[in-house]
Structure 1
Amino acid sequence: MISISQYRSGTVSKVRLLLLVSSILAILAGILSSCSEDDTTIDTNLSNVKVQFYANNLSFLKQTSEESQITEIQTLIFIDNGDGYKYSYSVPAASLNAVDSLTTSFDITLYTVTNPVKIYIIANSDNAISNNTPLVGETEAQVKQKIIQSFSSTGISANFPIWCEYLLPSGISSSLNNNIIQLKILRAIARVDISVEDVESSFSMTSIQAFRVNSQFQITPNAYSNPLLVSEPSIPSTSTTTINTNPIIIANNTSESQLYLPESAAPSVANQTSDATCVVVGGRYNNSDDITYYRLDFAPDIAGYPLGQILRNHHYTFNVIDITAAGWPTPEEAARNRSTNIQAAIQDWEDVGANVGLGGNTYYFQISTREITIPSIATPNASGFSLVATNVPIYTIRWSDAAGNPLGEPADVLNDGVIRVLKTRNLIAVNAVANNPSPSTVLRYVLIEADRVRILLKIYHLGT
């Protein structure tokens, strides 16, 4: 579990891995035929391959139909003749059929071969492939670096490029007929959500936009680890961070599924302010008629996530907690300067073990962490957070003992004179209202109840 952090008068982001927990069922059937290619022995058989895509995200992501949409598919075939995988040929998908909002089926035709084969399945990227056609004999790295797509100020909101690969160490043969093959797929972009619903001051968000975004992105990652996770961006050598996206008008203080960005590399520490890709929020502070602007950085304060880095298929959520003063007069000024006058929680939702399904998956409830640590001294504002993602109409909190037995009645605010716990729709915030004079850490428990689920939250009040 990755702990919650927060920044005051600085940058915050909530990283969330936009996990496309998806599977592809490949049903292989057909008639075989033959040809020969280079020195590889190829049977005289063709095989029709039917593949079904299943894109099932974790419920709290509120996945949109556009995020699962597949309108076109190309497959790139690599064969290993003993000197590594080299590009051999491509096959467009036939009989593309949207079975439902999460499922797409299609047929492809492959040549049988006894050498090891690796198949790239690339969706929604036909133009990127045709504009940079791979050459027979090129390595995987060479092909990956060629298949790129431009990113403009208008952004991208549908037909997201998707990639996956499947390895056949024994080649392609008729024995594959009617087999079911499990795969995972990966989007080439990241999703960014922003919420100011929990801002304590009076603030109305009116717009969001991103600055210093890469002008190009690579469809396939240079490297990944199972289960299809990336830890570093794969950025085309010809890309420049010159794109500022057009402002997106916001209503109801929340932006979900509106801003999607390509990967970004973290700049050096000395150049973070001037070079890092960032998001700028516009809004009216304290009911003012004037709109001012605030910078938010991709700065999760987590090992392996340096400030300014954006990774594909991740879900970054900025959950703004407090705004203390008016921001910069223009979005450009906010983007050029350090983030100020803003506080927000930051969380990586990668730990799916905390996810709780309810009522046959009709409801879901998840908290980002079950342990919160706060400093020994009292603070006027929250110093520890656990973010909440749920569609349960009502959830409650109350004090508890270590065994989960309730102590007292549920309330939106718990305050025992030492520790204060505030519950909102999107988070549980904790701060000390009195110092802990003891050198020992004090442990308190809060019972969270959502539908039939009971979760015990631990609060550690550090000693002096």
Structure 2
Amino acid sequence: MQKLFYAPLFLLMAYICWGCSADRDDFHSLGTGKDTRLTFSVSLPTKANTYSLKPTNENNVSSIYVLAFKYQTNRYELADWSQAPESDIWDNGDSNKKKFTITFTRLKKGDSYKFVLLANAKDEVDALFQDGVTVGAEKNTTLQKVQLSGITHWNVDPSTDPSSSYRDIPMWGETPSHNGTGDMAVSQDMNITGLKLLRMVARINVRVDDANATSASSYFKLKSVDLYNVHQNGRVVPDMKKLVDGSMSKVTTPTIAKDSEVTKGPIVYDGSMAGCAVSDAELSNTIYTFETEVPRDGNKKVLYDKLTCLVIGGQFESDTKTTYYRVNLNKKESGDKVTYLDVLRNHTYNIKIVKIKGSGYDTSKEAFDAKAINMEAEVVGWDDGEVGEINESGGYRLALSPGSIFEFYRNGDPQIVNIKTDYPGGWKVVGVTEADKKTPIDPNTGWLKVDKLMNAAQGKDGSKVPMTLTVALNETGENRVGYIYIQYANTKIYLTVNQSTEDEVSIEVTSNGQVVSELLFTSMDETISQKLNIKWSPKGRDLSVVNSNFGNYKPFVGTGVPVLGETTISGGTGNYTYTITPTAFTEKEKESPLEKISKLDFTTTDGIRSVSASVFIRHVNYTLSTNVKTYYDSNGSTYTLNIKSNADWRIKSIERSSDKLLNIQTTDNLKVGTTGDANLSTGTDVRFTVIKEELSGIRGTVDVVFESTDNPKKFADKTITLKIIGGYYPKKHGGWAGSNIYWDGTKLTFDDVGVKTREKYQGVFFNWGSLWGIASAPNDGESLKWGHNVNLYAPGGVQTTYDNWATWPRVEEAITIYNVPEGKEHRDRAYLYEVTDLTGSTGIGDICRYLTEKGTNGLLHGKKWRMPTSNEFTDFKVDETTLSFANLPLTSAEGASGERKLNYGLTSKENVFFPNSGYRVNNSGTLRNISLEGYYWSSTPSQNYYLNAYALNFFKTSDSVPTIGDHYDAGQRKSGFSVRCVVDEK
């Protein structure tokens, strides 16, 4: 049976049979210490005839390990493992199908798992556990360690001494789930079918053309094959990103083992090695090798001397001496274009020598070093994982997908078999018979029909040709069998067609003509709609549709998707189509990797039997995020960016606003070309070291551009900006401004040193690190509380009203200062000076510096200004005659809020008057203690409290001494304080 009728499509692309009733209540609870039996049925890559390595040996499975992984917090972790020895593995109807039962002890009933099968790799997997791999180990990291090392010749002779290098070919298979979606919920004695195993090696065959009496075999005798430039190490498990999307049996690019060495000289196949039988015309199924990739330089030019290639040794015409010819693994395109081929696992590369023009080079090395001459060869790459069943005879192959056995119901729909051969004459249907294999059936009018003419050649160009099989309604009352005979070369095979008397009860979910287990939408193409078609039988029955949330993922949001919960599509048509379009991610959502998933379950019944199918609707924002800080001190430290992404990435470019920002070390990897894998759990660290310039006040940016390495790209280029600042520890200031910062009706300003005209002005308030002034009196002159329209004063000279406290720009709350230079202390740092945005666009920084350096206004009062450091507030001489306190009534306000005059305050030793300005309370904005207390911001963040900053606090106490604090409620950065500027003399 080729259709999938009874299972969620996403799980295994095959149904799950419950050997015992999965719903029985008499099973013991499964879990740690409880045995769980699972039966696996697997398909091997090839069903073949003659080999050097015989089919029973190439397909031999001497051991299978099964590793169960559970999805936990953005990654798969090892939950349990078990192995089936050779005695417990048996043929399942053919030599290329195996079945085994395996027992686990840690699985829990009802929990979902991903299963990874590793065949013929017992020693390598045992070594994993001996090295300490245990429950909780991350999947990808664990499986990357399963590799073979130091192998050049693959010994194909199982009759050699068991202590020799002969071993069965390791294979890998895996349930095709994704990030927890589609994992299998286990139950006792369940059967898991439909898995395919992939060989970890590629196979290379060489054959001299013998199509007719004048072919190459009539004047050339094959003597040897030398293999150059192949890896000695190989990974048993491929990288998942190297697989075709949606496939677990087809790779697109090679997976190269880390630190694998490439052979220096040739690997020789000349009959001297065990099992290597070179005839005059053929060397088949003897050369097995690990994956290799086409080597290229930085300009993507092929490195000819490092290509994996063959050197053919043979005798031309009457030559008595063997000469040598280089043959590259390439595919000739139209014109003179040549495409060089990677060597991929589970592929067969058939090299057919079609013409020899003369003798070759005297030695294999000469032939390797030279261009390929005097020999024409055709290279056909055959993907053993692309098809369901491969037949091989006489050096030619024929592939059937999905296989050779077809099951039809009484009312069965047509089914398609895809057929492909490398035989130049193609393939043809040569007969259709009844069960006795003798009685013919008319392939055009009988109960079993094919859509191809008898004895008409198909697929002579090597292409995959679909053939449709159709059966008539079976009203005989008995099951029936038919056979379709196909011939290629001199070999005949047959397809078996079984038709039952039962009506079909099925559900098929397709999109764009293909059976699907999910619909995937990404942020790169989220405006594109996709159609989801559901076809079910019997047609007259209702279809139940359940849309449910999946795990902890946010649900899919879009149009055309069924409503949340259960709905019913009434019977009658047996066919329904959804046109689904996702709602675009918001700009905020696009900042980080995000996936929205909903699960659709479809169920129908004929009143006795029920079938279900599932599909996941996924909307993925592929991107990356990182823990980038707002600023980095230029103190010589090494910092780490932790990159978390749901796609593979590479650093595309790095642009610096100044060369004096970074000091990249050999251990750093903030470099163009650095790559990282999709990893949302632990992330990938990118390290960089900044320059050590604490006293310079240096400021600049480094733009790091990350790109997707997938083709097509999964996300648009993303830029991460590193802002690097040097700690500014100024010299002693050159004098205090003559007034607090106030609003003069058109702009924020303040008076020069020694000007006392406005020394009693209360001024406006600021949050710490904000360039926005806040009114120091209510507009209505009646209420101290926030909530009325209160004036705000923009740094660019705009007055507006605002109702919401503390939502305008200010410096973030988490600031840490590192590596204070020798001779300085934390409270000497003018941090806000460093981070001032002189464009005013971000609205943060040192308001004094901004007012005097912005734009083309020139220096205010001819001087540069800044906010004082915390330590500069300690240099005060208290004039107690001015420390008389009284609460100033609101009615004494004069003019604009910045012009409120306060007669009480503190006088410094420089005879500078600081009025008791009061403040606005953090988070509420309420006015408090006007003319009773004074609060003035410094430019230094708190050393002890990340919410606070240092400020000058003075108020009436027993000794009338002002304090410099960061621990009072009023010291929180959301409070509104006055600001007094100082002259910046550097």
TM-score range, shorter chain: 0.5 to 0.7
Report the identity percentage: 21
SS of the residue corresponding to residue 119 of structure 1 reads: strand
* Superposed counterparts of 1:260-299, under 5 Å: 260-268=288-296, 270-299=301-330
Runs of 4+ in 1 over 6 A off after TM superposition: 22-27, 60-63, 351-354, 389-393, 403-406, 448-453
2:149 is matched with 150
Q: Compute the displacement of 1:151 (Å).
A: 4.5
2: CA distance, partners of 1:390 / 1:237: 43
CA shift at 1:289, angstroms?
Answer: 1.0
| Offset, 1:93 | 1.4
Deviations 1:392-438 (A, max 9, x none): 99xxxxxxxxx9999xxxxxxxxxxxxxxxxxxxx999xxxxxxxxx
Distance apart, 1:193 and its partner CA: 0.8
The answer on whether the counterparts of 1:67 and 1:159 sit within 8 Å (CA) in structure 2 is: yes
**Residues 274, 337 of structure 1: 8 Å contact kept:** no
C-alpha change, 1:341 and 1:65, in structure 2 (3 Å) is same
User: Which residue, 149, 154, 175 being the options, matches 1:166?
Assistant: 175
**Residue 46 to residue 301, structure 1, CA distance change in 2 (3 Å):** farther
CA distance in 2, matches of 1:306, 1:104: 37
Match of 2:350? 317
TM-score by length of 1: 0.65
Q: Counterpart of 2:115?
A: 119
Structure 1 residues 86 and 389, CA, compared in 2 at 3 Å: closer, same or farther?
Answer: farther
Work out whether 1:245 is the aligned partner of 2:267: yes
Structure 1 window deviating more from structure 2 (133-142 vs 271-280): it is: 133-142
Distance 1:452-1:219 versus aligned 2 partners, 3 A rule? closer
Structure 1 Cα separation of the partners of residues 135 and 354 of structure 2: 54
- Which of 77, 91, 101 lines up with 2:82 in the alignment? 91
Residue pairs, 1:22-41, within 5 angstroms: 32=28, 34-35=30-31
Contact 1:24 1:181 in 2 (8 A): yes
CA contact (8 A) 2:61 2:168 kept: yes
Does structure 2 retain, via aligned residues, the 8 Å contact 1:217–1:235? yes
Structure 2: how far apart are the matches of 1:129 and 1:343? 44
Deviation at 1:367, TM superposition (A): 4.7
Aligned residue identity for 2:39:
K
CA contact (8 A) 1:78 1:119 kept: yes
Once the two structures are TM-superposed, the CA of residue 73 in structure 1 deviates from its matched residue by 0.9
Task: Quote the offset at 1:300 in angstroms.
Answer: 2.3
* Structure whose residues are more often strand by fraction: 1
Residue 345 of structure 1, CA deviation: 2.3
SS in 1 for 2:303: helix
Q: Report if aligned partners of 2:208, 2:353 keep a CA contact under 8 Å in 1.
A: yes
Aligned residues: 357
Q: Which of 356, 366, 370 is the equivalent residue of 1:337?
A: 370
Q: CA deviation at 1:116?
A: 3.4
Aligned in 2, Cα 1:253/1:390: closer, same or farther, shift over 3 Å?
A: farther
Higher-Rg member (1/2): 2
**The 10-residue stretch of structure 1 (286-295 or 108-117) with the greater mean CA deviation from structure 2:** 108-117
Q: Structure 2: how far apart are the matches of 1:212 and 1:341?
A: 22
3-state SS of paired residue (2:255): coil
Q: Among residues 35, 38, 52, which one is paired with 1:49 in the alignment?
A: 38
Equivalences for residues 10-21 of structure 1 within 5 A: none
Q: How far off is 1:450 after superposition?
A: 8.3
Match of 1:257 in 2: 285
Kept in 2: contact 1:188–1:262 (CA 8 A): yes
Counterpart CA distance in 2 for 1:194 and 1:23 is: 36
CA deviation vs aligned residue, 1:296-354 (integer Å, no higher than 9, x gap): 21112479x95251000011000111011211212222223322211122334568699
Question: Are the aligned partners of 1:148 and 1:217 in contact in 2 as well (CA < 8 Å)?
Answer: yes
Report the CA distance between 1:247 and its aligned residue: 2.1
CA distance in 2, matches of 1:25, 1:185: 18
- How far 1:132 sits from its partner (Å)? 3.5
SS at match of 2:175: strand
Classify the secondary structure of the residue corresponding to 1:164: strand
Q: Is the Cα–Cα contact under 8 Å of residues 367 and 389 in structure 1 kept in the other structure?
A: yes
1:233 aligns with 2:254: yes
Matches of 1:452 and 1:188, distance apart in 2: 30
In structure 2, which of residues 98, 101, 116 is the aligned counterpart of residue 107 of structure 1? 101
TM-score (norm 2): 0.32
Structure 1 CA distance, aligned partners of 2:59 and 2:489? 32
> 1:201-229 CA distances to partner (integer Å, 9 max, x unpaired)?
71100111311110100001102221510
Q: Which runs of 5+ in 1 are unaligned?
A: 1-21, 37-43, 369-385, 394-402, 407-426, 430-447, 454-464
Instruction: Give, in angstroms, the shift of residue 79 of structure 1.
Output: 0.9
Pick from 199, 204, 214 the counterpart of residue 192 of structure 1. Answer: 204
Alpha-carbon spacing, 1:135–1:234, altered in 2? closer, same or farther (3 Å): farther
Give yes or no for contact 1:25–1:182 (8 Å, CA) kept in 2: no
Task: Return the alpha-carbon distance in structure 2 between the equivalents of residues 348 and 324 of structure 1.
Answer: 25
Q: Which residue of 1 aligns with 2:557?
A: none
Tell me if structure 2 keeps the 8 A contact 1:265–1:310: yes
User: Residues 392 and 451 of structure 1 are in contact (CA less than 8 Å); yes or no, is this contact kept in structure 2?
Assistant: no
Q: Pick from 327, 345, 362: which aligns with 2:360?
A: 327
Report the CA distance between 1:32 and its aligned residue.
Answer: 4.5
Q: Is the 8 A contact 1:278 1:298 kept in 2?
A: yes
Q: Does 1:137 align with 2:158?
A: no
Stretches of structure 2 that go unaligned for 5 or more consecutive residues are 1-12, 157-166, 272-277, 389-396, 406-418, 431-451, 463-487, 494-986
